[in-house]
Amino acid sequence: MKGEGDKNVAVCDMKLERLLSMKGGKGQDSYANNSQAQAMHARSMLHLLEETLNKVHLLKYSSSNPPPFTVVDLGCSSGANTVHVIDFIVKHISKRFDAAGIEPPEFSAFFSDLPSNDFNTLFQLLPPLVSNSCMEECLAADGNRSYFAAGVPGSFYRRLFPVRTIDVFHSAFSLHWLSQVPECVTEKRSAAYNRGRVFIHGAGEKTAMAYKRQFQEDLGVFIRARARELKRGGSMFLVCLGRTSVDPTDQGGAGLLFGTHFQDAWDDLVREGLVTAEKRDSFNIPVYAPSLQDFKEVVEAEGSLVVDKLIVFKGGSPLVVSQPDDASEVGRAFSISCRSVAGVLVEAHIGQDLSDELFFRVERRAAGHAKEVLEHLQFFHIVASLSLA
């Protein structure tokens, strides 16, 4: 679905766009305090990010009065991970300028996410900006920020920046979030109606195809927008949840996170009469973990970007536990992980009190299957390095 009058704009679910965010603040179940696994996964992929950064053309900055070198993190969320990755990118590019004998330009970084994102918590994590007098000397200094920073609220399923203004786009653990739940999935009369389920994992073929079409449409819109904004010689590094199975109803790690104990907890609420079956069925997690082929088909069909690298990368578990033999800790970690990324949507759908009930049951069920959770809850990621065709 395209927006009328602009073929590069997706028709997003405006309610979802205003609502969707990782859990803000700095509380126990906040994303800021529950994104250690994402940080570990990101660190394990830094060598792939370096490969992408090494492809960025620098010669255009050898003239006098060059424009700022501009970096964007799309789907930045509200934790420290985005600050660390921007710092890594700026320092790596600075070293490349030094090695090429080119005086580094000023750096500009944009942190972008949906308007509901907790930008206040994020901005509090930013290190102080170094003064102009020591900008160059402090580029590699720890504890300082050597780039100008700004927040850009808005969906990345539409244009966010002027044409040809961005050198590097980075986006990690975000593109699997759809612009909307496919309408047919929650429409009772539809063959794709996801009756009895809150996620694509284990759903019927028509439901799975509806999710897949939504992902491919969204990714196509995303690529067209970024292709307009990316500078010639720039690069884009993307990471999203992926799967190794060709079957879209097998969502891998995402399926185990949202399609097992989370699903069973919803069923508990229905059986106990706390939530109606219709209320459960009208809630679906707007996530799709693509296969490598799913991703590749969209990039090739859209045609404005070329693939420099496209792989499936094993990221490991999203859970961080200090005592793996403690079933209660495993259950608690599973529930908190689930809540930190989906809790805002759940609370908007059934309220705070029932949300507490739901995630209590998630914790209890996960604790009862702690060994299985630790053995099988593994995330795979699609990692893509793209540049202009």
Judged by DSSP in three states, 269 sits in: helix
Question: CA nearest 181: which of 198, 196, 195?
Answer: 198
Tokens coding 371? 């060994």
pLDDT for 27 equals 53
Using DSSP bridges, classify how beta strands 107-113 and 2-3 pair: parallel, antiparallel or unpaired.
Answer: unpaired
Residue 133 has a pLDDT of 45
In angstroms, the Cα distances linking 362 to 39, 89, 127, 181, 355 are 24, 38, 37, 22, 10
What does each C-alpha distance from 309 to 66, 123, 237, 340, 379 come to in angstroms?
29, 32, 9, 31, 20
d(CA 218, CA 271): 36
Q: What angle do CA 255, 336, 272 make, to 5 degrees?
A: 75
Q: Which residues pair with 6 in a beta bridge?
A: 3
State pLDDT tens for residues 35-71.
566 667 778 889 999 999 999 999 888 878 889 999 9
CA angle 205, 211, 217 (to 5 degrees): 130
pLDDT value for 31: 55
Low-confidence ranges of the chain (pLDDT < 70): 1-39, 130-143
Q: Check if the beta carbon of residue 85 is closer than 8 Å to that of residue 125.
A: no
Q: What was the pLDDT predicted at 49?
A: 97
Q: What is the DSSP letter of 11?
A: -
Q: Where are the beta strands (DSSP E) in the chain?
A: 2-3, 6-10, 69-74, 107-113, 148-153, 166-172, 230-242, 305-316, 379-388
CA angle 85, 88, 92 (to 5 degrees): 145
Q: 2-246+285-316+379-388: which CATH number, 3.40.50.720, 2.30.30.90, 3.30.43.10, 3.40.50.150?
A: 3.40.50.150
Q: How confident is the model at residue 311, as a pLDDT?
A: 96
